[in-house]
Amino acid sequence: MIRGRVWKYGKNVDTDAIYPARYLVYFEPAEVAKHAMEDIDPDFLSKAKPGDILVAETNFGTGSAREQAAMTLKFAGIGAVLADSFNRCFYRNAINNALPVLSMRGISQQIDEGDDVEIDLEHGRIIDHTSGKEFQAAPMPELLQKILAANGAIAYYRAHPAKIAEPVKSAGAACVGESCRE
Amino acid sequence: MGMTIVEKILARNASLDRVIPGQIVEARVDVVMLHDIGTPGIQRPFRELGTGKIADHVRCVIVPDHYVPAPTVQAAENLKLTREWAQSMGVEYYYEPGRGGISHQIMIEQGHCLPGQIIVAPDSHATTYGACGALGTGLGVTDTAIALGTGQLWFQVPETVKVELTGELSPYVSAKDIALYLLREFGEDELIYKAIEIAGPATERLTFDDRACIANMALEMGVKTCLFIPDAETLSRLRQYRQNVPDPVRPDANAKYAHVAFIDVSLIPPMVAAPHSPSNGKQISEVVGTRIHQAFLGSCTNGRIEDLRVAARIIKGRSVHSGARMIVTPASQKTYKQAIAEGLIQIFLDAGALVTNPGCGVCIGGHLGLIAKDEVCISSSNRNFIGRMGSRQGQIYLASPAVVAASALAGEIADPRSIEEN
* Nearest beta carbon to residue B146 from set A157, A168, A182: A157
Instruction: State the complex-level ipTM.
Output: 0.80
Decide: B282 and B274 in contact? Cβ < 8 Å.
yes
| DSSP tag of B170 | P
Q: Helices B208-218 and B175-186, interaxial angle, to 10°?
A: 20
Residue spans of the domains in chain A: they are: 2-159
A142-150: average pLDDT: 91
Burial B32-53 (b: 16+ CB within 10 A, else e): bbbbbbbbbbbebbbeebebee
What is the mean predicted confidence (pLDDT) over B263-291? 97
| A28-79 residue pLDDT tens | 999 999 999 999 999 999 999 999 999 999 999 998 889 999 999 999 999 9
Which class does domain B5-264 fall in? alpha beta
- Give the domain A2-159 fold: Aconitase; domain 4 (3.20.19)
Other beta carbons less than 10 A from residue B352's beta carbon: 16
- Cβ within 8 Å, pair A66-B37: yes
CATH number given to B273-417: 3.30.499.10
The string of pLDDT tens digits covering residues A93-138 is 999 999 999 999 999 999 999 999 999 998 999 999 999 999 999 8
Strand spans (E) along B151-298: 152-156, 160-166, 195-199, 225-227, 259-264, 271-273, 281-283, 294-297
| Residues of chain B found within 8 Å of residue A143, distances taken between Cβ atoms | 24, 154
Q: Tell me if B156 and A175 make a contact (CB, 8 A cut-off).
A: yes
Q: Is the pLDDT of residue A178 over 70?
A: no
Confidence band, pLDDT 50/70/90 cuts, at residue A163: low
**Of residues A67, A73, A63, A81, the one with CA closest to residue A14:** A63
Q: What is the DSSP letter of B2?
A: B
Instruction: Say if B5-264 and B273-417 have the same CATH topology.
Output: yes
Among A2-6, A161-165, B149-153, the range scoring the smallest mean pLDDT is A161-165
Q: Which residues of B touch A24 (CB under 8 A)?
A: 37, 66, 364
Query: Buried b / exposed e across A8-44, counting CB within 10 Å, b at 16+?
Result: bbebbbbbbbbbbbbbbbbbeeeebbebbbbbbbeeb
Q: Where along chain B do its domains lie? A: 5-264, 273-417
For residues B60 and B119, give the distance between their C-alpha atoms in angstroms, rounded to a whole number. 10
Give the span between the Cα atoms of B67 and B359, in whole angstroms. Answer: 7
Rg (CA), chain B: 21
Contacts of A155-163 with C-beta under 8 Å, sequence gap 24+, read A155/B48, A157/B49, A157/B146, A157/B150, A158/B48, A158/B49, A158/B50, A163/B26, A163/B152
Whether A162 shows a pLDDT value over 90: the answer reads no
Average pLDDT, chain B: 96
Angstroms from B393 CA to nearest CA on chain A: 11
Is the pLDDT score of A176 beyond 50? no
Collect all residues of chain A within an 8 Å Cβ-Cβ radius of residue B224. Answer: 88, 182
User: What's the pLDDT at B215?
Assistant: 98
Angle formed at CA B56 by CA B95 and CA B119, multiple of 5 degrees: 60
